[in-house]
Structure 1
């Protein structure tokens, strides 16, 4: 039976909209009409079967309605109307990115039109917290709270965690009631900071109800997560665990959840496991933030993931950079478009004095180290293995008896690549033949660099100074501690 579409049409939901296109396609069966309806092909997963893409964004839905109405008007047919349910769906999802872009620039410029709002913000935050925010932290928190979705690229030591708690204090204050939970996705070593900083910022004014999703009690027990979620106000989970908890998290996250991706540069490879898990998190939260002091460590492709975390619906219409374009894009274009959406507190803002120049001590290798270096050059085919073995030989030749664990050293990160076989290929190309090195009396090789380092430490301690020693290899750190212990120095590894 042919359907009559020359009547008022009300779209109640996505499915209703898709059904309408289906009706039009079947009703207007002429070749001319079918050619005209090709404008809808980008919205189809399979245009021949009239199957729509399941992940159409609200931006695409609005575009689709506009195109549809234009087509209906030209045919003299009744245009589309939307009901309250559909309008509420759009309103809940909608982020006016162009307007927010203008707001971001004017806030950063200190425009006077924001004076009243900023004053109100400071008053509320000061009432809610015990430890006052510093001036730069107040500015950053106000900017981020107003933007709703934005990045904090402040340098380490600027107090990014405190800034986020300033936002949380404002948004969860009694007279606003906008958010009630803070979900943080971060590396494991950042968990403690989120917990202790809450207690320092809020003091006795608020009680922390902390939930660590890495706790064993949450393994394979969604019921325990649901029970504790109700009471929790700060929840942490690491990037590696996100995939296993994604379903339950998406069931629990809502518009009152403030979502923070800490150290977001850990989500490296586009298409990597961490990226997929992070991007599949619920889009319900109105407030979504990414934090990192190193936003673009490897090139402009690094911005692709974090922009999709904040603006999944708006990316294609506002930023619209594909991955190939990001490989060759003009930095000025990126800076211009990103500027309204991030805050960066730098060392000058914090009045941090400029660092003193490094004092580099150059030490010649021993004769046996030179011979060992020649063997390394002859034995190693991969550049990564060559570099690693030379570092080991310079301070602790005994390490050459063992295979290199590149992942443990952080020299290979599986999530930097889309497929595990790429990582396996790198590891295979950089495998060492350790039997070559076992022919040397590695424990007897003199290491002037190591000896000079130990002398430097003992000299500084004798001057009453504390010394912090950084190392790359765990075995070398144990060796340093053993030597210092023998000299009677109080050493903590």
Structure 2
């Protein structure tokens, strides 16, 4: 019988019919829907036409499950097409599997379960070249029991080794045969290195990033017997190649464990990255997510993560998600934590910094340096100029002030890093700043006038450290300063290299000119105790994530700092991590100019770092570790230092 879903016709007794044609969901039939029910379907994205409701969906199964859950709530009769019923049945089996494993993993987290399966799992991991630490073993077994695991452990805890151990166990059981990693390019080399060190063999790996799309397409079409074992894919490539990746993972004989590394990049709800990963994930045999920052901005950031793992069978229902959003607006965190602890608490594992068994890092008292004559003259002028300009800000609008304040703070931070930086432009900052011809000449010709006081002190510190240790890491936030430091130490006969934004990540990631080294080349050479590369100079924006230096480098010197606490914390973890810091003490040194902004930056960072560490130790707290958003930090500092309250 042909019937129109309408709220103004007589009620009919036959049920609704739900069909799926490619990516279009169709609802037709004779049941009359009430206005509020139609409104709900419109909220779900359905549109009416003459005889049905329809919706184009990139994630049809999730949308269909959501639809039938609502129909069940409303006690509306419906039938599914045969093919659709088969698909839904498969997902319901997964839902049942989740229910069955839920209690087991809860016991694992609470130390209540050490059964025969655990004993057998431990025996297997003990045969691997890299033995798991106690915290890694428990985390790995939790992942293995779930098969779709979430590891939210802090940076430096060994999440990669944990996953690789699980992969190898599943592979030997014949349950999967390749790893498909999606993450930022900086994680690719660590995955390859950790694979060899953990499992004792070099994987046949393939990087899916940049380059020719036709080449990537040919790789996806390779038969299973000639496929690689380790695939490394960027978020952008996953978005661009979604259909091809799905075809690859759907091949007979391809049983993939798909891992999203640095999974907090999925935080954009409804974003293109998240949607492509959700769609691809449906075709992996097993899945995992790794991030030390699971709730970067909002409790909603968790939704995509568990939707990826469990698809329509996510333990958080749509109604619970809506309730969490309401509670978050009301700042009712207690109720949010209760529901998260109940519904997703057993489904992730989190190792905190205090669980790692590392030797506490040693933070040496700041080394206070007296400015040399010219740089003090320049710094005093810059600070006085900011105070003078600030008096003229009263009539400027807020957007204008934001750019001005940010630019002035960058100028002040440049002045305590390297005076020569003041001759360069600052993006989005056009304010006339240096109006003194004599001072401008000193800035332009600074390198011929004197050696910065910090650089002199740095030279002495490096010489002292080198008497007992070989490798030293030096941090600065400005490219010009990085280049100054590198050239200075090369002149003194040291082996020195720098890593910053323009340093190529890999040889296949960009056009390499001549013998230009990549970040991978530089890192590997620096880690080699037999190499002559003794000093690595880097800025946190380019080198604070996914690069481990803790096995051979135990000293980090901060030539200057920014107000970005997230980058600072990430940089600390480069030399203080599992796999070296249990026996080697990490040392941190800070150079500061006397009576300068250096003291305010360090004090502010220490306060924010302590608050952030306190929050990170908790399971369900919001903390912002966005590595590239430090503009607001500078503006907040400006208001504190220069505006009247």
Q: Structure 1 length as normaliser, TM-score?
A: 0.76
Which residue in the other structure is 1:226 paired with? 221
Counterpart among 195, 206, 228 of residue 198 in structure 1: 195
8 Å Cα contact 2:178/2:256 also seen in 1? yes
Q: Summarize the Cα distance change of 1:85–1:178 in structure 2 as closer, same or farther, 3 Å threshold.
A: farther
Tell me the CA shift for residue 346 of structure 1.
2.6
SS in 1 for 2:176: coil
Q: Summarize the Cα distance change of 1:86–1:353 in structure 2 as closer, same or farther, 3 Å threshold.
A: same
Are residues 1:340 and 2:350 paired? no
State the Cα deviation string for residues 343-382 of structure 1 (Å, max 9, x = none).
1223333211222244212345513211023335639843
Task: State the number of aligned residues.
Answer: 447
State the Cα deviation string for residues 191-243 of structure 1 (Å, max 9, x = none).
11211222222225xx6221111274655651233217652221001223332
Q: Distance in 1 between matches of 2:175 and 2:36?
A: 42
State the Cα deviation string for residues 30-71 of structure 1 (Å, max 9, x = none).
xxx453993795266124652233445253254256368x44
Which residue in the other structure is 1:382 paired with? 404
Equivalent residues in 2 for 1:120-131, closer than 5 Å: 120-126=120-126, 129-131=128-130
Are residues 1:394 and 2:416 paired? yes
Q: Distance in 2 between matches of 1:473 and 1:301?
A: 35
Equivalent residues in 2 for 1:29-428, closer than 5 Å: 33-35=32-34, 38=37, 41-42=40-41, 45-47=46-48, 49=50, 50-55=52-57, 56=60, 57=62, 58-63=64-69, 66=72, 70-72=75-77, 80=79, 86-92=85-91, 94-96=94-96, 100-112=101-113, 115-126=115-126, 129-174=128-173, 177-203=174-200, 208-214=203-209, 216=211, 218-219=213-214, 221-227=216-222, 231-254=227-250, 256-270=255-269, 274-313=273-312, 314=314, 315-317=316-318, 319-321=320-322, 326=328, 329-336=331-338, 337=340, 338-363=344-369, 365=371, 366-375=376-385, 378=389, 381-404=403-426, 428=428
Structure (1/2) with the larger strand percentage: 2
Which residue in the other structure is 2:541 paired with? none
8 Å Cα contact 1:137/1:163 also seen in 2? yes
Q: Summarize the Cα distance change of 1:89–1:159 in structure 2 as closer, same or farther, 3 Å threshold.
A: same
Q: Distance in 1 between matches of 2:326 and 2:124?
A: 45
8 Å Cα contact 1:261/1:290 also seen in 2? yes
Question: 5+ residue gaps in structure 2?
Answer: 4-11, 391-400, 499-645
State the Cα deviation string for residues 373-411 of structure 1 (Å, max 9, x = none).
333563984333233222211121222222346xxxxxx
Which residue in the other structure is 1:423 paired with? none
Cα RMSD after superposing both structures: 3.9
Q: Structure 2 length as normaliser, TM-score?
A: 0.60
Q: Distance in 1 between matches of 2:118 and 2:223?
A: 35
Which deviates further from its counterpart, 291-300 or 345-354? 291-300
Which residue in the other structure is 1:471 paired with? 476
Q: Summarize the Cα distance change of 1:279–1:168 in structure 2 as closer, same or farther, 3 Å threshold.
A: same
Which deviates further from its counterpart, 331-340 or 343-352? 331-340
